[in-house]
């Protein structure tokens, strides 16, 4: 069994992607709380010793530091033979949604939520811009999930874990009440949450939180 250490902060949906995947694969990890709000990931020392890209999460597997959630999720799927898709066509679809998630859904939702909720004086023009983009991406996802139980057909994959991550935080943080605005997304979140072993973000990622300004 590999030994995992996850460098994270509790509000990090990207960290949740890995914590959830490890948990659903029956693995445990040592949580390494990181002072993201205090700016530690911007320091030259942290970048030299933990991640030159300056990003959370970092997953240590038997001491080897891995970064970028999408390839890590795919590696874990391969390693544990779970959630990676079965056929070549399904694997292609997993990659397609992982890229879409990183570029569009997570990319915008993470930035929108952080600016909206965890900064003291968010710029309303920036919020309006991000919200408009997100509304479009969420409508695309809503339509897809009206026809599919999971991102790829009727079985959960790492594409689901990547895409649900930032949508799984409380309404007062995301600013979206999906049960009201996006019923198919809401039902999909509930389907993922009913997988055996599922745990919520703040349950898996404990510790001191960022200041919540709204």
Ligand X SMILES: N[C@@H](CCC(=O)N[C@@H](CS)C(=O)NCC(=O)O)C(=O)O
Which CB sits closer to ligand X, 118 or 186? 118
SS3 65: strand
Sorted by sequence, the CB contacts under 8 Å of residue 208 that are 6+ apart come out as 10, 33
- For the bound state, the minimum distance from the C-beta of residue 58 to ligand X, rounded and expressed in Å, comes to 9
- For the bound state, the minimum distance from the C-beta of residue 201 to ligand X, rounded and expressed in Å, comes to 11
Burial bucket for residue 111 (CB in 10 Å: 0-12, 13-18, 19+) = middle
Mask of contacts with ligand X, 154-193, x by CB under 6 A? Answer: ----------------------------------------
Angle subtended at Cα 108 by Cα 107 and Cα 111, rounded to the nearest 5 degrees: 90
12 scored as a contact of ligand X (CB under 6 A)? yes
14 scored as a contact of ligand X (CB under 6 A)? yes
Which CB sits closer to ligand X, 190 or 213? 213
- For the bound state, the minimum distance from the C-beta of residue 17 to ligand X, rounded and expressed in Å, comes to 7
One residue of 34, 69, 157, 186 binding ligand X per CB under 6 A? 69
Burial bucket for residue 53 (CB in 10 Å: 0-12, 13-18, 19+) = exposed
102 scored as a contact of ligand X (CB under 6 A)? yes
Which CB sits closer to ligand X, 67 or 186? 67
Instruction: HSE, CB side, 13 Å, CA atoms: give it for residue 196.
Output: 2
Q: Which residues in 34-63 contact ligand X (CB under 6 A)?
A: 41, 54-56
SS3 58: strand
Residue by residue, DSSP assigns 132-196 as HHHHHHHHHHHHHHHH-SSSSTTS--HHHHHHHGGGGS-HHHHS--HHHH-HHHHHHHHHHHTST
Which CB sits closer to ligand X, 8 or 178? 8
68 scored as a contact of ligand X (CB under 6 A)? yes
- Which residue ranges make up the site for ligand X (CB under 6 A)? 12, 14, 41, 54-56, 68-70, 102, 110
């Amino acid at each position: 069994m590999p030994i995992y250490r996850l460098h994270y902060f509790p509000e990090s949906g990207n960290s949740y992607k890995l914590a959830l995947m490890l948990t659903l694969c029956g693995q445990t990890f040592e949580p390494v709380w990181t002072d993201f709000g205090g700016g530690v990931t911007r320091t030259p020392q942290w970048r030299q010793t933990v991640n030159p890209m300056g990003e959370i999460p970092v997953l240590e597997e038997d001491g080897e530091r891995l970064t970028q959630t999408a390839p890590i999720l795919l590696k874990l799927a391969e390693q544990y033979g779970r959630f990676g898709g079965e056929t070549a066509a399904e694997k292609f679809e997993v990659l397609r949604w992982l890229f879409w998630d990183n570029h569009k859904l997570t990319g915008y939702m993470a930035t929108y939520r952080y600016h909206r909720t965890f900064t003291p004086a968010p710029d309303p023009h920036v919020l309006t811009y991000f919200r408009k983009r997100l509304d479009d991406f969420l409508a695309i996802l809503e339509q897809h999930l009206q026809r599919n139980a999971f991102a790829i057909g009727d079985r959960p994959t790492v594409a689901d874990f990547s895409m649900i991550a930032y949508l799984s935080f409380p309404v007062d943080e995301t600013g979206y009440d999906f049960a009201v605005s996006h019923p198919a997304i809401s039902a999909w979140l509930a389907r993922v949450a009913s997988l055996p072993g599922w745990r919520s973000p703040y349950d898996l990622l404990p510790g001191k939180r960022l200041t919540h300004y709204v």
